[in-house]
């Protein structure tokens, strides 16, 4: 079997990769939404792997792996890798999880990620108590999430706005007017801002109590001093983890030595990793036990084999695994389900990537029904990732410039 083409299309909010072979077996992968600026890179990678046998996944990846980098520049490399596993499973007639060593769990735990409650009790949750009630409502749905992650501090800046704090009230060193979302947006927090966030979480927990695990995505952008103050203040609340306080989303480094200073001085679990590309860049975090939880994204880290390797190595060092994947789409969800079903006991849950828009579920076949119940996805057994496009339906959503995607 040989690779004859690599195609891409923006379908809804996501870039989809299709690896085409001369045997009539195609593989699919999906790239995080809103990153259409990486689509022009597809032709570069295609030229490096045309003519290769896609079932020799590692051989193909050796040809393109060096041409990636930290988020978002590892996305196409990672997504091609997942499409190759899809082909390998289909060609062998077995689900991908069997190619990764076999599943050790029939149901895989997830947390809310990009899932949205269609009818929350508070469409505008403008108090911590209302946010807590919305979190509990996610538990009461048939989907029944047992872990819910909330954004706070510098992640999206929404907390400061909801708390009524303008920039001088939360930044000790106010930033220049923002010209790009890529600009760093953190600094030393004011006492008012740090106290306000601690109070905010305490009030959420007063509602949620222990009925749902609460994880917090905080940055990146915090100083080490503030991150440690926050982690210690939250110790009584049994937070599932405190994510990306120092480095994280779109930062091209790890600062493992800074994370370690925080981790060894608090009982609040410290988490990072969604932006990191390849196992080599996790080495310092893992070997120095710089964090308690790591969260690679399969669509950024180099694919699912890379993610599995990191999970195993983390387990050897007593570090927990909670993969990122919030907007990796339906095919990303399938890949996460397969690889996470094979992970050791350090696996907590993966971040659930819902299809956006909702019509995504109408243009693919093969997903179990119901897909998500009681905070878990049941692993399904079709060959490959077990998800296929309904080409007639999906073609209706192709952009004009992507009309040849299924041809």
Residue spans of the domains in the chain: they are: 3-94+391-398, 98-385
Burial 77-115 (b: 16+ CB within 10 A, else e): bbbbbbbbbbbbbbbeeebbbbbbeebeeeebbbbbbbb
Fold of 3-94+391-398: Enolase-like; domain 1 (3.30.390)
Give the tens place of pLDDT for each residue, 202-238: 999 999 999 999 999 998 989 999 999 999 999 999 9
Sheet holding 27-31: strands in order across?
Answer: 3-11, 14-21, 27-31
Q: What is the mean pLDDT of residues 67-77?
A: 95
What CATH architecture applies to the domain 98-385?
A: Alpha-Beta Barrel (3.20)
176 or 253: which carries more pLDDT confidence? Answer: 253
Give the tens place of pLDDT for each residue, 108-160: 999 999 999 999 999 999 999 999 999 999 999 999 999 999 998 888 667 88
Give the tens place of pLDDT for each residue, 323-354: 999 888 999 999 999 999 999 999 999 999 99
What local confidence, expressed as pLDDT, does residue 167 receive?
A: 75
Strand pairing partners for 16?
9, 30
Q: What is the mean pLDDT of residues 166-190?
A: 73
């Amino acid at each position: 079997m040989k690779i004859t083409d690599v195609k891409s299309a923006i379908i809804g909010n996501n870039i989809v990769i299709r690896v085409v072979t001369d045997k009539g077996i195609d593989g699919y992968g999906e790239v995080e939404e809103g990153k259409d600026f990486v689509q022009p890179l597809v032709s570069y990678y295609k030229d490096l792997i045309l003519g290769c046998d896609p079932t020799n996944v590692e051989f193909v990846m050796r040809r393109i792996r060096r041409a990636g980098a930290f988020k978002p520049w590892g996305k196409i490399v990672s997504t091609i890798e997942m499409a190759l596993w899809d082909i390998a499973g289909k060609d062998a007639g077995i689900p991908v999880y069997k190619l990764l060593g076999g599943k050790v769990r029939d149901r895989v735990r997830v947390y809310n990620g990009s899932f949205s409650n269609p009818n929350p009790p508070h469409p505008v949750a403008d108090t911590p108590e209302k946010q807590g009630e919305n979190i509990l409502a996610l538990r009461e749905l048939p989907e029944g999430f047992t872990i819910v992650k909330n954004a706070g501090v510098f992640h999206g800046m929404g907390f400061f706005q909801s708390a009524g704090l303008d920039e001088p009230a939360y930044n000790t060193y106010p930033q220049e007017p923002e010209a790009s979302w890529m600009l760093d947006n953190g600094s030393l927090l004011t006492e008012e801002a740090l106290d306000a966030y601690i109070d905010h979480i305490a009030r959420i927990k007063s509602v949620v109590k222990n009925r749902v695990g609460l994880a917090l995505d905080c940055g990146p952008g915090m100083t080490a001093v503030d991150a440690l103050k926050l982690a210690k203040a939250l110790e009584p609340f049994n937070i599932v983890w405190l994510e990306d306080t120092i480095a994280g989303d779109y930062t091209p480094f790890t600062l493992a030595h800074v994370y370690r200073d925080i981790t060894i001085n608090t009982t609040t679990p410290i988490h990072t990793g969604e932006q990191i590309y390849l196992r080599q860049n996790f080495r310092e975090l893992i070997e120095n036990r710089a964090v308690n939880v790591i969260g690679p994204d399969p669509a950024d880290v180099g694919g699912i084999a890379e993610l599995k390797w990191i999970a195993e190595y983390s387990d050897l060092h007593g570090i927990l695994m909670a993969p990122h994947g919030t907007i990796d789409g339906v095919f990303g969800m399938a890949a996460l389900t397969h690889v996470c079903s094979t992970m050791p006991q350090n696996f907590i849950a993966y971040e659930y990537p819902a299809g956006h828009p909702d019509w995504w579920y109408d243009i693919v076949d093969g997903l179990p029904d119901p897909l998500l119940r009681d905070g878990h996805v049941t692993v399904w057994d079709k060959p490959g990732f077990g998800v296929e496009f309904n080409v007639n339906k999906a073609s209706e959503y192709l952009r004009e410039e992507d009309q040849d995607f299924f041809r």
